[in-house]
């Protein structure tokens, strides 16, 4: 506002922070100078402003001297801005009329010379006073919360989070891309470090999720579009046509047995077995209803066949089904979309195209009693029992070249130990060799587990890498090196198991764009803070669980899922959410309606509206930009895109920042 | 050219008679043979004043904003550079496409009367005609053959859009600019080659002549804000006193505000009464955008987002040692 | 490396003034980390906190030079890590053009630095500040784009 600036009564409180500030900044001089600054009605210092005594001193001064805004010159605002805002509010001052000058982390702790440090502290305090002079009262808005959560991904991470949220009394939807929930854990045979049967511990949870009155499963479905904001997400879900009526199907499996089209490779079996065009991915699938693969179904492609329809005793097959699009509202979203393992096409030296060279997931299917070989550990090429099995660790992990991933995939050392122990347990005469760089076993009972493989089961651990594998007749000659002895060695293996690196799913980037959250250079979703906020994202209301955030094993995944669920429950518990009031606002008299701001806003928070203004007696219709305060996160990017400065950011207005620049440059 | 003049008059007359448009924007002859001015006509009889010749340099697009506030539908004759300006105005939502009828005229470049004066000096030229290799200037005593390059505006010599990129009707065949498009950034490169102090002295010398008349801002199609930041006291960016820093700020900030939206029509430099080479500022930014973020020609369509409101994940920058992500 | 006591090198006491705009989530936190790690850099650097590096307007930079800053630094999150998801991609494009433009006008490019500093890079923060101070020290006080009416 031009012209008459209200006379401010600013209180400046300078903290000693014990000797943290006082050692290199002359606090009393800062107070002296502060008293001379325009608008300052009262200045004082104290040793620990954040303490109860310090805060009370501030509150007393506010009441006694009728102060209307406050500057605290102390530690970083990232430490105590909240503390002082609350204290000011308790004295009747709007919490946004408080500014902090950082004279500790950015002054007293980094400068040795007391004179220079004091000068700088004075300049920073002057800047804070200049800014607070222009602060306006800001009142956070309130948002309603939809009491329903969405979980993207139906693996163990998604299932655990769903069960926790549902048990707390809130409705949950799980959207799963494949025809059944269960995820990677359903593919595993036994799990470390307890060697529990994976399906035995997973399927009860799958059934709980299916039966829970608060949980709705949307399998064979994908999230298409997400809009909205925390407490009010609007999500479109595409439910792909199964061509099977879920209400009529009894799960008898006659259709899947009799389907004549058997060329498709089963995704669940990692391609080791074929499946029909109409299929259920695995025996314990939930829901226990098949789907028809449109690319393989003879009837859907040519109009002929239709055998399943004829044979189905309940008449559940329906070739006329169409994809369905539904829209739902949610208060919170949990991303639990899981992981993949890398393609091995760039690792030709390991001869992955040889049928007896397999990945760890393929190993799980082979040893699984419900797998393609009914649990018999045999070579895929000729069905014979192998005599020597070589395990190669770190295939593509800890790899600084573009072929692989630079990170450690975390689970491979443990599952390789598990694999080697499983085959030694069943077939003690098989020789097992593990080529490793390091053995990483940090979890509870993990190290004891791995040592058992060496000490009890006689698995031979060789510290070195494999250079190349040459197939020779029925054997696979594995050329490696033992760095402990310094010698190269060749093992005539019958089978080789590669611990391929884990990687983020290929649709992670697509999903992140829909959600407007970030991924790191490896396409894993980024958490809000690597140490202190591991299950939240930078976007309020969207949480992460499981391996989509980074490689992790089942115990950690379950822990993270429950943590995400706790955050969701805390969010849904609130009747109203308070939003950040430092948002953008449009001055309609300055706005030309060019809408450049709407194009750059990272949150799509700006749209436009038509208004009518009175221009010198003439009524003119105008298009102006319009900010949705609930979506605006307050980054301020629009204020720079706006050339006339029609849109400004509350709490960090143009004038405020210019005032700070002026104060510093004095 | 006479053909086109005939066509223009016929079209304008018809459009006004049929009430297809309320007003026509075109060009008419000024007092001197080397002057053509913008013409705004509302009556069909006035159509015979419209012309098309070698001096129709004015970019008429910017006038549409104000005129459309008074009239519902306007017909406008546009050259190539005017059409890119039009697209830029559309992109900024300052005008509606439906309110305008565009008559596009392919242009081989306009002649700069100042250049003619420099060549002929005291010999007063009375006419100009197109010749085989360029033009023939006629004065009282003699004739002189000159090439197009010698007398055309610099901006026309390096023009990248001789043909209108948007129009409802095209008068005449499309032309190919035979002149040197690749020399567009020559002036910029010369300044880049100077030392920082030399550059500052150069620009200081230029900016101190600025009288803040705002002609450059008024004619610019990218400068269409209802209240310019320099008129807004609250923006605290400039006052009324003539100071070196604030005059420089006007040009630096304006160049940045039109970055990625400047169609390089060159009108700003032409209309400056102090002769400040403003196009050297805008072209510097265009050159940088082309080099770092991919070639971008503002105004070639009205939908592609401007470079400064979009980004690519693989963008590099000019300041850190490694760019991209 | 600290220049606090190296004033004797110049014949007049040249105390450079560097204004740094730091984004709240990364570079300001990085500056705080430099503080908690007790790294040393000269007191001539004064920091203004902004929510995101995309908040910084050309006007602020010009104002700083106009009113006596000898150097300006803008520090934001690494591209891809912006707390506001895409804010610093815009910073990157804007300031690539602006730094080139100010250099074209004649401001030495060592005076105006833009860099990416994450919350974990306290060391990088101190290095960047020390580096620009050293460069500005060699160049001397900035007389360009100064407002003659402001205190010189």
Distance from CA of C47 to the nearest CA of B (A): 20
pLDDT at A315 over 50: yes
Q: How many CB atoms lie within 10 A of CB A305?
A: 17
pLDDT at B131 over 90: no
**CB < 8 Å to B66, chain A:** none
Distance from CA of A599 to the nearest CA of C (A): 11
pTM equals 0.77
Residue identified by tokens 């939807």 is A173
Peptide bond before residue A193 is cis, with ω within 30 degrees of 0:
yes
pLDDT at C151: 63
Q: Cα(B223)–Cα(B246) distance, rounded to whole angstroms?
A: 19
pLDDT at A512: 86
pLDDT at C12: 60
Cβ <8 Å between C96 and B199:
no
Please report whether residue C106 resides in a domain: yes
Cβ <8 Å between C54 and A104:
no
CATH number of domain containing C57: 3.40.50
Residues 6+ apart with CB under 8 A from A319: A243, A292, A299, A300, A306, A309
Please report whether residue C3 resides in a domain: no
Residue in B202, B281, B320 closest to C116 by CB: B320
pLDDT at C127: 94
Cβ <8 Å between A592 and B305:
no
Across the range A11-37, mean pLDDT stands at: 92
Please report whether residue C91 resides in a domain: yes
Q: Find the domain containing C26 and state its range.
A: 16-139
Please report whether residue C2 resides in a domain: no
pLDDT at B182: 74
For chain B, which residues make up each domain, given as ranges?
2-109+161-170, 113-149, 181-309
Among the ranges given (A5-14, A56-65, A218-227, B213-222), the one the predictor scored with the smallest mean pLDDT = A5-14
Please report whether residue C10 resides in a domain: no
Among the ranges given (A139-143, A202-206, A413-417, A570-574), the one the predictor scored with the smallest mean pLDDT = A139-143
Are the CB atoms for A25 and A103 separated by under 8 Å?
A: yes
**Nearest 5 degrees, angle CA A456-CA A458-CA A463?**
120
pLDDT at A66 over 50: yes
pLDDT at C81 over 80: no
Token pair listed for B97: 């496409």
A589 and chain B in contact, CB less than 8 A: yes
Please report whether residue C9 resides in a domain: no
Residue of C nearest to B197 (CA): C106
Cβ <8 Å between C95 and B319:
yes
Across the range A320-344, mean pLDDT stands at: 96
Helix/strand/coil (H, E, C) string of chain B? CHHHHHHHHHHHHHHHHCCCCCEEEEEEECCCCCCEEEEEECCHHHHHHECCCCCCCCCCCCHHHHHHHHCCCEEEEECHHHHHHHHHHHHCCCCCHHHEEEEECCCCCCECHHHHHHHHCCCCEEEEEECCCEEEEEECCCEEEEEHHHHECHHHHCCCCCCCCCCCEECCCCCCCCCCHHHHHHHHHHHHCCCHHHHHHHHHHHHCCCCCCCHHHHHCCCCCCCCCCCCCHHHCCCCCCCCHHHHHHHHHHHHHHCCCCCCCCCHHHHHCCCCCCCHHHHHHHHHHHHHHHCCCCCCCCCCCCCHHHCCCCCCCCCCCCCCCC
Token pair listed for A215: 């949980």
Q: How many A×B Cβ pairs under 8 Å?
A: 56
Distance from CA of C115 to the nearest CA of B (A): 6
Across the range A17-30, mean pLDDT stands at: 91
pLDDT at C2: 43
Cβ <8 Å between B249 and C99:
no
pLDDT tens-digit readout, A553-567: 999 999 999 999 999
Ranges of beta strands (E only) in A505-633 are: 542-544, 576-578, 584-586, 606-615, 618-627
Q: Cα(C129)–Cα(C34) distance, rounded to whole angstroms?
A: 11
Residue B193 confidence class, pLDDT cut points 50, 70, 90: very high
**What is the share, in percent, of chain C residues with pLDDT greater than 90?**
64
Q: How many domains does chain C have?
A: 1
pLDDT at B33: 84
Please report whether residue C120 resides in a domain: yes
Please name the residues between 102 and 141 in chain C that touch chain B, using a CB distance below 8 Å: 102-109, 113-116
pLDDT at C149: 79
Across the range B115-141, mean pLDDT stands at: 83
pLDDT at A2 over 70: no
* Averaged pLDDT of chain B: 90
* Averaged pLDDT of chain A: 93
Q: Cα(A417)–Cα(A286) distance, rounded to whole angstroms?
A: 31
Cβ <8 Å between A644 and B226:
yes
> Does residue A455 sit in helix, strand or coil?
helix
pLDDT tens-digit readout, A518-562: 788 789 998 877 778 899 987 789 999 999 999 999 999 999 999
Q: Where are the alpha helices (DSSP H) in A259-381?
A: 298-302, 307-311, 360-367
Token pair listed for C148: 């003659």
**What is the share, in percent, of chain A residues with pLDDT greater than 70?**
99
Pair type for strands A142-144 and B134-139: unpaired
pLDDT tens-digit readout, A73-108: 999 998 889 899 999 999 999 999 999 999 999 999
pLDDT at B179: 57
pLDDT at A467: 94
Q: Cα(B9)–Cα(B15) distance, rounded to whole angstroms?
A: 10
pLDDT at B224: 92
pLDDT tens-digit readout, B50-97: 999 999 999 999 999 999 988 999 999 999 999 999 999 999 999 999
pLDDT at A585: 95
Distance from CA of B67 to the nearest CA of C (A): 32
**CB < 8 Å to A641, chain B:** 308-309
Q: Which of C46, C53, C77, C152 has the most A C-beta neighbours within 10 Å, making it the best mutation to test the interface with A? A: C46
A644 and chain B in contact, CB less than 8 A: yes
Are the CB atoms for C66 and C146 separated by under 8 Å?
A: yes
Across the range A295-323, mean pLDDT stands at: 92
pLDDT at A584: 95
Across the range B268-293, mean pLDDT stands at: 94
Token pair listed for A166: 């549902």
Domains parsed from chain A with CATH numbers:
2-134 (3.40.50), 142-240+323-338+510-573 (3.50.50.60), 241-322 (3.30.70), 340-503 (3.50.50.60), 584-649 (3.30.70.20)
């Amino acid at each position: 506002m031009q012209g008459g600036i209200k006379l401010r009564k600013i209180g400046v409180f300078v903290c000693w922070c014990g000797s943290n500030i006082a050692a290199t900044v002359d606090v009393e001089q800062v107070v002296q100078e502060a008293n001379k600054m325009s608008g300052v009605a009262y200045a004082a210092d104290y040793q620990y402003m954040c303490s109860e005594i310090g805060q009370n001193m501030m509150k007393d001064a506010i009441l006694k001297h009728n102060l209307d805004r406050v500057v605290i010159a102390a530690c970083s605002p990232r430490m105590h801005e909240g503390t002082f805002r609350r204290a000011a509010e308790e004295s009747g001052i709007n919490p946004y009329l408080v500014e902090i000058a950082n004279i500790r982390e950015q002054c007293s702790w980094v400068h040795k010379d007391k004179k220079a440090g004091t000068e700088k502290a004075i300049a920073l305090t002057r800047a804070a006073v200049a800014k607070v002079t222009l602060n306006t009262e800001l009142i956070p808005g309130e948002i309603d919360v939809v009491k329903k959560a969405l979980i993207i991904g139906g693996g163990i991470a998604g299932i655990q989070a769903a069960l926790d949220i549902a048990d707390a009394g809130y409705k949950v939807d799980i959207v799963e891309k494949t025809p059944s929930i269960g995820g990677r854990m359903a593919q595993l045979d036994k799990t470390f470090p307890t060697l529990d049967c994976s399906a035995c511990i997973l399927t009860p949870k799958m059934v709980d999720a299916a039966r829970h009155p608060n949980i709705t499963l949307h399998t064979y479905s994908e999230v298409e579009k997400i809009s909205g904001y925390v407490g009010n997400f609007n999500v479109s879900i595409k439910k792909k046509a199964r061509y099977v009526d879920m209400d009529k199907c009894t799960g008898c499996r006659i259709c899947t047995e009799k389907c004549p089209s058997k060329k498709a490779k089963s995704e669940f079996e990692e391609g080791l077995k074929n499946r029909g065009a109409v299929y259920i991915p695995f025996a314990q699938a939930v829901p226990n209803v098949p789907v028809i693969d449109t690319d393989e179904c003879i009837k859907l492609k040519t109009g002929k066949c239709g055998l399943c329809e004829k044979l189905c005793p309940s008449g559940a097959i329906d070739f006329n089904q169409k994809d369905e699009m539904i829209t739902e509202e949610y208060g919170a979203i949990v991303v639990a979309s899981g992981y993949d393992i890398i393609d091995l096409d760039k690792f030709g030296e390991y001869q992955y195209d040889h049928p007896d060279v397999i990945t760890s997931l393929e190993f799980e299917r082979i040893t699984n009693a419900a797998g393609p070989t009914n649990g018999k550990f045999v070579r895929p090429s000729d069905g014979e029992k192998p005599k020597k099995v070589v395990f190669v660790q770190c295939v593509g992990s800890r790899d600084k070249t573009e072929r692989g991933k630079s990170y450690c995939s975390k689970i491979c050392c443990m599952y390789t130990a598990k694999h080697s122990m499983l085959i030694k347990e069943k077939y003690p005469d098989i020789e097992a060799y593990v080529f490793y760089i390091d053995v990483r076993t940090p979890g509870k009972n993990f190290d004891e587990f791995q040592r058992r493989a060496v000490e009890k089961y006689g698995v031979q651990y060789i510290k070195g890498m494999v250079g190349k594998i040459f197939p020779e007749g029925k054997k696979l000659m594995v050329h490696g090196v033992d760095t402990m002895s310094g010698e190269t060695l060749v093992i005539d293996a019958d089978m080789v198991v590669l611990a391929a690196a884990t990687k983020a799913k290929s649709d992670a980037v697509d999903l992140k764009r829909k959600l407007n959250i970030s991924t790191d250079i490896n396409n894993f979703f980024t958490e809000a803070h690597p140490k202190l906020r591991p299950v939240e994202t930078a976007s309020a209301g969207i949480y992460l669980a499981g391996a989509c955030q980074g490689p992790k094993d089942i115990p950690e995944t379950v822990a993270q899922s429950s943590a995400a669920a706790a955050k969701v429950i805390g969010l849904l518990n609130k009747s109203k959410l308070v939003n950040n009031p430092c948002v953008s606002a449009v001055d309609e008299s300055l706005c030309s309606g060019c809408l450049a701001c709407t194009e750059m806003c990272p949150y799509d928070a700006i749209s436009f509206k038509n208004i009518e203004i009175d221009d010198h007696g003439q009524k003119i219709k105008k298009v102006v930009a319009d900010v949705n305060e609930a979506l605006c996160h307050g980054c301020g990017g629009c204020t720079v895109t706006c050339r006339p400065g029609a849109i400004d950011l509350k709490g960090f207005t143009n004038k405020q920042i210019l005032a700070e620049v002026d104060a510093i440059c004095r | 050219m006479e053909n086109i003049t005939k066509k223009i008059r016929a079209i304008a007359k018809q459009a006004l008679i049929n009430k297809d448009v309320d007003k026509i924007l075109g060009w008419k002859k000024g007092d001197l043979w080397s002057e053509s001015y913008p013409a705004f006509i509302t009556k069909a009889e006035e159509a015979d004043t419209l012309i098309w010749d070698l001096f129709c340099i004015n970019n008429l697009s910017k006038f549409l904003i104000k005129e459309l506030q008074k009239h519902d539908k306007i017909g406008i004759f546009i050259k190539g550079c005017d059409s890119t300006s039009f697209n830029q105005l559309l992109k900024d939502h300052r005008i509606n496409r439906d309110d305008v009828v565009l008559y596009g005229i392919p242009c081989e470049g306009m002649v700069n009367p100042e250049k003619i004066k420099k060549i002929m000096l005291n010999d007063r030229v009375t006419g100009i005609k197109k010749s085989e290799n360029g033009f023939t200037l006629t004065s009282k005593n003699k004739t002189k053959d000159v090439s197009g390059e010698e007398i055309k505006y610099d901006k026309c010599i390096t023009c990248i859009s001789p043909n209108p990129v948007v129009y409802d009707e095209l008068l005449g065949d499309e032309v190919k600019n035979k002149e040197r498009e690749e020399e567009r950034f020559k002036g910029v490169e010369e300044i880049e080659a100077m030392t920082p102090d030399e550059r500052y002295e150069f620009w200081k010398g230029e900016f101190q002549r600025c009288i803040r008349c705002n002609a450059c801002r008024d004619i610019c199609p990218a400068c269409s804000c209802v209240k310019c930041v320099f008129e807004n006291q609250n923006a605290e960016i400039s006052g009324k006193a003539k100071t070196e820093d604030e005059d420089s700020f006007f040009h630096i900030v304006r160049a940045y505000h039109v970055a990625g939206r400047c169609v390089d029509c060159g009108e700003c430099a032409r209309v400056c009464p102090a002769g400040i080479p403003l196009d050297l500022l805008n072209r510097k930014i265009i050159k940088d955008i082309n080099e770092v973020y991919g070639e971008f020609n503002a105004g070639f369509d009205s939908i592609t987002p401007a470079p400064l409101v979009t980004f690519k994940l693989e963008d590099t920058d000019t300041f850190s040692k490694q760019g991209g992500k | 490396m600290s220049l606090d006591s190296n004033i004797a090198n110049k014949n007049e006491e040249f105390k450079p003034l560097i204004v740094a705009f730091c984004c709240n989530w990364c570079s300001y936190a990085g500056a705080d980390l430099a503080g908690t790690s007790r790294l040393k850099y000269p007191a001539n650097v004064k920091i203004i906190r902004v929510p995101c590096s995309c908040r910084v307007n050309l006007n602020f930079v010009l104002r700083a030079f106009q009113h006596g800053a000898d150097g300006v630094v803008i520090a934001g999150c690494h591209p891809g890590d912006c707390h506001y998801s895409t804010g610093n991609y815009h910073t990157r494009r804007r300031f690539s053009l602006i730094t080139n433009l100010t250099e074209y006008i004649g401001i030495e490019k060592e005076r105006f630095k833009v860099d990416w500093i994450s919350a974990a890079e306290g060391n990088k923060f101190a290095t960047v500040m020390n580096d620009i101070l050293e460069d500005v020290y060699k160049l001397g006080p900035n007389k360009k784009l100064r407002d003659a009416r402001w205190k010189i």
